[in-house]
């Protein structure tokens, strides 16, 4: 009898615990939010900064919002900059980005729009300058390789480069233009290989500053260094010369030329908490000069 009573009492406590789990939630404007069932997040969630949160957020600031199903992010999730401006809108399936997404600059203008499929861009991809004008207009295959006509634009909206890609490689004729619209060069590619004999270069009808020099002059000095996070694969690296570094997840973190561990010329790869590549920052002479396009994982 004691054994039976003991089981009954245990069941009561177990039931109470289950009820407590089911009823772990918050109320906002009469709606149930931030609900936890059996230890897993479900329904609509509003994730806010705590007292020890960094990155410029104040306690109580909304960081992101979206829905969970059985502890996994599902559907559209929105992230915010400190201060409340929209930072991104990303579609998730089982906590992995899959489907349409939009990234925003701090000024509120669209930075990038596209579609993710298994950490790769697919379909239409557009990146914009901070002033709102189109910077890149690409298309990707279902496997994440650039395909069809691809275009680059200057900040003033003028076409900078147009060419055709097939399975991620340049093919056929490519044209480059000066910022004033004058033709700069015509060249041909075959499966990603430049036909040097085909290159035709043209002088601008009016004086033009070299695009790279102009970009570097307008760039921002940033001190991006090889850190302890790169130690697993530095292998005797003394902080100088060319090096490709990987993080602890064996993903490329930095690729380029270093001086005293500082990235001078190369690329800096940024990932989110799920290991998804979010950004490739390009550096010239120690200055950030723009972002590279994310093509393949």
Residue 18: per-residue pLDDT? 36
- Give the burial string for 172-210 (b: 16+ CB within 10 Å, else e): eebebbbbeeeebeebbbeeeeeeeeeeeeeeeeeeeee
Indicate if the pLDDT at residue 157 is higher than 90.
Answer: yes
Per residue in 83-124, pLDDT (tens digit) is 999 999 999 999 999 999 999 999 999 999 999 987 789 999
Rounded alpha-carbon distances, angstroms, from residue 182 to 113, 134, 160, 179, 260: 29, 19, 10, 7, 41
SS3 228: helix
Per residue in 255-264, pLDDT (tens digit) is 988 888 889 9
Residue 21: per-residue pLDDT? 41
Residue 20: per-residue pLDDT? 38
Residues 106 and 125 sit within 8 Å (Cβ to Cβ): no
Residue 213: per-residue pLDDT? 52
Per residue in 118-149, pLDDT (tens digit) is 778 999 999 999 999 999 999 999 999 999 99
Q: How far apart are CA 266 and CA 289, in angstroms?
A: 10
What are the sequence ranges of the domains in the chain? 209-297
Of 89, 88, 87, whose CA–CA distance to 106 is shortest? Answer: 87
Q: How far apart are CA 294 and CA 291, in angstroms?
A: 9
Of 177, 113, 116, 123, whose CA–CA distance to 147 is shortest? Answer: 123
């Amino acid at each position: 009898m004691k054994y039976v009573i003991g089981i009954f009492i245990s069941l009561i406590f177990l039931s109470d615990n289950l009820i407590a789990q089911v009823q772990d939630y918050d109320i906002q404007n009469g709606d149930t939010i931030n609900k936890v069932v059996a230890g897993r997040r479900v329904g609509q969630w509003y994730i806010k900064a705590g007292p020890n949160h960094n990155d410029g957020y104040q306690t109580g600031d909304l960081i992101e919002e979206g829905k969970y199903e059985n502890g996994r992010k599902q559907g559209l999730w929105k992230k915010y900059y400190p201060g409340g401006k929209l930072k991104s809108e990303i579609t998730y399936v089982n906590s992995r980005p899959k489907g349409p997404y939009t990234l925003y600059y701090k000024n509120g203008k669209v930075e990038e729009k596209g579609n993710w499929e298994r950490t790769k861009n697919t379909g239409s991809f557009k990146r914009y300058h901070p002033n709102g004008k189109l910077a890149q207009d690409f298309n990707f295959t279902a496997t994440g390789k650039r395909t069809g006509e691809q275009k680059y634009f200057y900040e003033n909206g003028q076409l900078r480069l147009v060419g055709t890609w097939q399975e991620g490689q340049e093919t056929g004729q490519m044209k480059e233009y000066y910022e004033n619209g004058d033709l700069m060069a015509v060249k041909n590619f075959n499966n990603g290989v430049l036909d040097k004999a085909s290159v035709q270069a043209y002088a601008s009808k009016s004086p033009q500053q070299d695009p790279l020099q102009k970009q570097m002059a307008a760039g921002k000095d940033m001190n991006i260094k090889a850190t302890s996070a790169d130690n697993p694969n530095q292998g005797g690296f003394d902080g100088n010369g060319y090096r490709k570094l990987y993080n602890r997840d064996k993903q490329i973190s930095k690729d380029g030329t270093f001086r005293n561990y500082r990235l001078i010329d190369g690329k800096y790869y940024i990932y989110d908490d799920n290991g998804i590549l979010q950004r490739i920052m390009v550096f010239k002479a120690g200055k950030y000069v723009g972002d590279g396009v994310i093509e393949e994982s």
